[in-house]
Amino acid sequence: MDAKRLSIADKLLAWYDAHRRDLPWRAPPGVAADPYRVWLSEVMLQQTTVATVRPRFEAWVARWPDFASLAAAEDADVMAAWAGLGYYARARNLVAAAKAVAADHGGAFPRTEAALRTLPGLGAYTAAAVAAIAFGERAVVVDANVERVVSRLFAIARPLPASRSAIRAAADGITPDERAGDFAQAMMDLGSAICTPKLPRCLLCPLQPDCRAQAQGEPDRYPVKAAKKAKPHRYGTIFWVERPFLSIVAPLRVHPSPVRAELVEAQELGAPPATHPSTSSGRTELVDRAVRGAREVLLVRRPPKGLLGGMRALPTGPWADEPPGLAKAPVATDWTMHNATVEHGFTHFDLTLALAVANGDGHHPDGEWWPLDRLDEAGLPTLFAKAARALRRDE
DNA sequence: AATTCGTGGAC
DNA sequence: TGTCCAAGAAT
């Protein structure tokens, strides 16, 4: 058999049949994929590693197994479930897309790349990937793996992102009419296991004879990338306001926390309170919490768009080029500056946070008093989880 | 076209 | 230790 007669797609698909990864969102060979799982996994995997996604995907589908259940979910629950995964617009768009499917498509998920592309959170890559993997449509699927593999195969020297159109054209040229979904996943498995960014394993590569970069001797020179900008450093303050779980009742009627509201209401009605969403045993636990002097911390909901948009959070002041101190503190009170600071790196800037601590009570706009011993259930982005950890450690 | 969106792991 | 990077999208 003349290897030259086999197309790149043929060789890659043969390699895939022998070496494909077993992933929870992948149907076994010959079995139709579940579009919901394909879509969810593709969104989770945007700029996120398989190792990070795998357990989060399992937990997610156990809680929301299909489009209908997700469309009916509470926004706060969905955002909390996404906490720690980053790029939180993905979670907002996930719910919006699930609702759009229910409202505009009669509950049926679109099956073509063009129709998928109209859903929020489905861009060029994800629409093509879902169309190919879930529905068998021939679509040109270009992610960072494909960019790397293709730029090496054809030794595309122009730097990214200017080379995108050439890479796409080259990917189109090797995408088969049949098994386009397997081909896309094969490219990604190859990029993950063989055609890696550094130290590619060319000796194991089924496409080695076809690879111009390998022939040139320095495959890891591709893809060439434009120089990146320097990251600015910014400063901010996190405000930690704490109060006893149950002190006095008077202010609570006006500005109750969910837990307190239920307790007060139950006292008025002479009935047991409903179980708080974050508790499991109703009045017993509420009373126990009060008796043992449990404490609560003030949380807020960040604005729906922008950095950490829509997420539950600790109150913060502005980000600035210099430490902003107590600017925009949520309450006028005596603050104690904590010794340690929290360092956090975002994609486009690094942040140093000071920690201001105070005792407080009463009303805060959009505020929510949260039981300290259940803070892990609040769904805080990593930045705030770090701050809570730093304060906890020192108590 | 260039920015703005998180986070954790590999090296 | 800092740098790079990951199944990108929206604006």
User: What does strand C contact on the protein, if contact means CB under 7 A?
Assistant: A 23, 25-26, 41-42, 45-50, 87, 89, 93, 120-127, 129, 143-145, 148, 185, 188-189, 191-192, 197, 225, 228, 345, 347
> Taking 90 as the threshold, does the pLDDT of residue A44 lie above it?
yes
Alpha helices in A72-136 (DSSP H): 75-82, 89-104, 113-117, 124-135
Strand C bases contacted by the protein (CB, 7 Å): 3-10
What per-residue confidence (pLDDT) applies to A331? 85
Given this model, what pLDDT does residue A107 score? 77
Query: So what's the pLDDT on residue A37?
Result: 98
Out of A59-63, A79-83, A315-319, A366-370, which region has the weakest mean confidence (pLDDT)? A366-370
* Residue whose C-alpha is closest to residue A142's, from A160, A157, A115, A158: A160
Q: What is the pLDDT of residue A21?
A: 96
| A96 CA, B3 C1': Å apart | 24
Structural domains of chain A sorted by starting position, each given as residue range(s) with its CATH number in brackets: 3-221 (1.10.340.30), 233-245+294-393 (3.90.79.10)
Left, alpha or beta for A216 (phi > 0: left; psi -120 to 50: alpha)? alpha
pLDDT score of A302 more than 50: yes
Please give the single-letter amino acid code of residue A334: D
Q: Stated in angstroms, how far is A311 CA from B7 C1'?
A: 15
Mean pLDDT across A366-385:
94
Q: What is the pLDDT of residues A62-102, one digit of tens each?
A: 999 999 999 999 999 999 999 999 999 999 999 999 999 98
The confidence score (pLDDT) of residue A284 equals 60
Positions of strand B less than 7 angstroms from a protein CB: 2-11
The spacing between the Cα labelled CA in A37 and the C1' in C4, in angstroms, equals: 30
Would you say residue A203 has pLDDT above 70?
yes
Give residue A198's Cα distance to chain centre. Answer: 25
When pLDDT is averaged across residues A264-271 and rounded to a whole number, the result is 37
Average pLDDT for residues A9-13, to the nearest whole number?
Answer: 98
Which nucleotide is the nearest neighbour of A143, by CA and C1'? C7
Asked if pLDDT for residue A105 goes beyond 80, the answer is no
pLDDT value of residue A359: 93
Q: What is the rounded distance in angstroms from the CA atom of residue A92 to the CA atom of residue A113?
A: 21
pLDDT-based confidence at residue A246 (cuts at 50, 70, 90): low
Write the CB contacts of A84 (distance below 8 Å, at least 6 apart in sequence): A381, A382, A385
For position A280, what pLDDT does the model report? 46
**For range A175-182, the mean pLDDT:** 98
**Mean pLDDT throughout A139-160?**
97
What whole-number percentage of chain A has pLDDT above 90?
Answer: 79
* Chain centre distance of CA A356: 28
Distance A46 CA to C6 C1' (A): 8
Picking from A239, A234, A233, the residue whose alpha carbon sits closest to that of residue A387 is A239
In the predicted structure, residue A39 carries a pLDDT above the cut 70: yes
Q: Mind telling me the catalytic residues of A?
A: 42
C-alpha span between A289 and A283 (Å, rounded)? 10
- State mean pLDDT over A162-181: 97
Which nucleotide has the least CA–C1' distance to A23?
Answer: C7
pLDDT cut 70: percent of chain A above it: 86
Q: What per-residue confidence (pLDDT) applies to A133?
A: 98
Model confidence at A200, in pLDDT bands (50, 70, 90)?
A: very high
- Determine the nucleotide nearest to A142 by Cα–C1' distance: C7
Q: How far, in Å, are A5, A67, A134, A261 from residue A314 at the CA level?
A: 61, 31, 40, 21
Q: What pLDDT shows up at residue A286?
A: 62
pLDDT > 70? residue A122? yes
Please tell me the predicted confidence (pLDDT) of residue A283. 55
Cβ atoms of residues A97 and A122 within 8 Å: yes
pLDDT band, very low/low/confident/very high, at A282 (cuts 50, 70, 90):
low
Task: Please compute the mean of the pLDDT values over residues A182-203 and round it to a whole number.
Answer: 98
In the block, tokens 């005596």 appear at: A334
pLDDT-wise least confident of A279-288, A290-299, A318-327: A279-288
Q: In this structure, are strands A233-244 and A350-359 parallel, antiparallel, or unpaired?
A: parallel
Joined together, the tokens standing for residue A128 give 């093509």
pLDDT above 80: residue A129: yes
A18 Cβ contact list (under 8 Å, min separation 6): none
Mean pLDDT score of chain A, rounded to an integer? 89
* Nearest DNA or RNA nucleotide to A348 (CA to C1'): B4
Amino acid sitting at position A352 = T
A10: its two tokens: 């043929």
Contact A355, A336 (CB under 8 A): no
Q: pLDDT-based confidence at A258, cuts 50/70/90? A: low
Give me the pLDDT at residue A176, please.
98
**Distance between the alpha carbon (CA) of A117 and the C1' atom of B4, Å:** 21
Tokens of A253: 């009627």
Q: What pLDDT, on a 0 to 100 scale, did the predictor assign at position A106?
A: 75
Angle (nearest 5°) at CA A356 between A351 and A359: 150
H-only helix segments in A270-379:
282-291
Contact A335, A259 (CB under 8 A): no
Burial of A75 (0-12, 13-18, 19+ CB in 10 A): middle
